Structure 1
Amino acid sequence: MPLPPDSLLRLSRAEAQAHTRYGRAATFGPLHAAYAGPGLPLNTAWHDGTRAPDAAELAAFEHFCAGFGVAPTLQLLSGAAAGALEGLEARGYHLSGLLHTYLHDLTGLPAPAEEVEETADPAAWAELSAQGFGEGSGPTMRVVAAAPGTRLFVARRRGQPAGSAALSLSGGVAALFGMSTRPEWRGQGVQTALLRARLHAAAQAGADFASVFVTPDAPSERNIRRAGFGLAGARLTFTRPAPP
């Protein structure tokens, strides 16, 4: 089954809506902002894919960020970048990050892996996830694990927890995120198992399609392609330096 023609717009709306789960939230026109805690990469705004934010909305978002002492940072998909770029550049924003955006329909899925289970223990999941992501990631993963609507998955190898991943559903769009593998289990199919399990969970939950973001040319990108995802665009991050 082909992906819906408005997939990227729906993904933008879903991400914007889901992002506000992560803490103190506010909306400024098409920007949906959240502050999750000191020093966390979740302290951003998501653009909902509609019109470009105007100067007043950007100023209000910047004031929101200043109240928490963080640099204004926003995420938007590549399809919306052209319309927003002029206004962002005028206020001093610069491109600070890029992830590839992949989508997958939810038909004809391969059998799910047997060694993946869903867990209701966010503390244990966050601890396992941080082992895969590395030093300093624990606070972020604890916020992710505790967010309403997040489903948590653990992959095992030889009975031991080897990797973790998360899933959320908004507006018929399944977001696959938070995938990490403990160093000693890398290269042994853990990520593939977690992708398959979450695709099946998304289909069973009634999602129309699934999405995932990945660092370009990372090993995870190869796994995502092998799992049947197709490249659909990019997630762009723009940042405006905080005033001294």
Structure 2
Amino acid sequence: MVLPPFPDPLPRLAHAEAAGHVRYGEAGAAARFGPLVAVHAGPGLPVNTAWHDGSGGLTESHLDAFETFSAEHGQPAKLHVLSHAVPPLLPLLRARGYVLDSVLHVYTHDLSTLPPAPPLTVREEPDPEVWADLSARGFGPGTAAIMRLVAQAAGTRRLVAEADGQPAGTAALSVTEGVAAFYGTSTLPEFRGRGVQTALLAARLRLAADLGADLASVFVTPGSGSERNVRRAGFVVAGTRLTFTWERPEAGRAVP
């Protein structure tokens, strides 16, 4: 395992992710409960979660309020925590009935060193609807609503890679507190295996530096092709993002 450079980027990354998460609530609701920043962006959207900002201090009352917020908006009480902040939270989360739902690897890239310009043409897309449509084609059925939200969120920079003069893949980034978050990465099926994601990573690293960021971050599924791509692009693993979901007790049954 490749270790990240010191100082540990995770506390800074947690704070930036929580601060940036608020923008998805502009279409619905956002609220803070102690270190948790919770969002409801619309029915059934995957950003209907809370981010722990890494500052600690999570209490029963914070979780009471967060669970009420989630219930009022008809969504699961789901929260993301970066690995450096998890150990002191586990006893409380376990006692409340939260279970580990998923784990992603966190990768970061110091923007003092940048890759060469990508071999494919990569451009910014000014029209959020065009970008969202292309992105949803890459991700597949059922993704149009979330990609439209991502495309229209404040601060999103939308990129499109081209191959043979045609749109081949999409990606996005936003900068919060000097941290460039990479997301929205998809390749249209007919262009897979053509280096599209490698080109989009290189283009975003260069754009992030131009925007004044000094650190880039991305979350990937362990062992995936995306993980191999980000490692080849010079990212180093910094930790994990753990997602916990509250198992709502049945009526009349207390949480153990």
Per-residue displacement from partner, 1:173-215 (whole Å, max 9, x unpaired)?
Answer: 1101111111111111000000000000111111111000001
Partner residue in 1 for 2:117: 112
Give the whole-Å Cα distance in 2 for the aligned partners of 1:170 and 1:15: 8
Name the structure 2 match of 1:203.
Answer: 209
Using a 3 Å threshold, how does the CA distance of structure 1 residues 232 and 184 change in structure 2: closer, same or farther?
same
3-state DSSP class of the match of 1:109? coil
Match of 1:8 among 3, 10, 21: 10
Q: Which residue of 2 aligns with 1:65?
A: 70
Identity of aligned residues (%): 58
Q: Secondary structure at the match of 2:86?
A: helix
Residue 159 of structure 2: aligned partner: 153
Larger Rg: 2
CA positional deviation for 1:127: 0.7
Secondary structure of 1:235's partner?
strand
Alignment partner of 1:19 out of 18, 21, 24: 21
In structure 1, the residue matched to 2:224 is 218
The residue aligned with 2:107 is 102
Shift of 1:4: 5.3
Q: Which runs of 5+ in 2 are unaligned?
A: 251-256
> How far off is 1:108 after superposition?
2.8
- For 1:165-204, list aligned pairs within 5 A: 165-204=171-210
Cα distance, 1:52 vs structure 2: 4.0
In the alignment, residue 69 of structure 1 is paired with which amino acid? G
In 1, Cα distance between equivalents of 2:91 and 2:10:
21
TM-score by length of 1: 0.96
* CA offsets 1:7-45 (integer angstroms, 9 cap, x no match): 111100000011111121000000001001101111000
Could you tell me which amino acid in structure 2 is paired with residue 58 of structure 1? L
- Kept in 2, the 8 Å contact 1:103–1:232? The answer is yes
**Partner Cα distance (1:141, 1:75) in 2:** 20
The answer on 1:45 being equivalent to 2:47 is: no
Instruction: Indicate conservation of the 8 Å contact 1:66/1:242, yes or no.
Output: no
**SS of 1:53's equivalent?**
coil
1: CA distance, partners of 2:180 / 2:39: 20
Which residue in 2 is equivalent to 1:132?
138
Structure 1 unaligned spans of 5+: none
**Separation in 2 of the partners of 1:243 and 1:137?**
30
Q: Which residue in the other structure is 2:254 paired with? A: none
Q: Secondary structure at the match of 1:62?
A: helix
Q: Give 3-state SS (helix, strand or coil) of 2:97's partner.
A: coil
Cα deviation code 1:140-181 (max 9, x no counterpart):
111111110111100000111110000100111110111111
- AA aligned to 2:19 is Q
1:193 alignment partner, SS class = helix
2:253 corresponds to:
none
Matched to 2:56, the amino acid is: R
CA distance in 2 between counterparts of 1:22 and 1:112 reads 31
Helix, strand or coil: the match of 1:135?
A: coil
Q: CA deviation at 1:3?
A: 4.5
Corresponding pairs, count: 243
